[in-house]
Amino acid sequence: MHAPPLPAPDLTLDTSGRLCPYPIVEIARAMKGLSAGAVVCVLATDPGIATDMPMWCRATRNEHLGTFREGSAFRSWVRKRGAP
């Protein structure tokens, strides 16, 4: 499945080869330094990101723009809460 048109990320985090909770820990750390409205794309090989990222976004009130599989990898887009 191809990702629909998504905004260009302000930051891309490559967590390939790392298992849960590393992708979530990394995005949580990165979000602290970003402005409201910033978009982060997380690259991951752990299939758990497909469920973990939407759950983390709900818990933190960030906007989950989508998680898409690309072969054996995943790309997950998140927009930081608040107005840009």
Q: Residues with catalytic annotation? A: 20
What pLDDT is recorded for position 5? 86
Domain 11-79 CATH superfamily:
TusA-like domain (3.30.110.40)
Q: Break the chain into its structural domains and give their ranges.
A: 11-79
Ordered per-residue pLDDT tens for the chain, 84 residues: 565 789 999 999 999 999 989 999 999 999 999 999 999 999 999 999 999 999 999 999 999 999 999 999 999 999 999 866
- Whether the pTM exceeds 0.85: the reply is yes
Residue 9 Cα distances to 26, 45, 64, 80, angstroms: 15, 19, 13, 11
What pLDDT is recorded for position 46? 96
Q: What is the DSSP letter of 45?
A: S
What pLDDT is recorded for position 53? 98
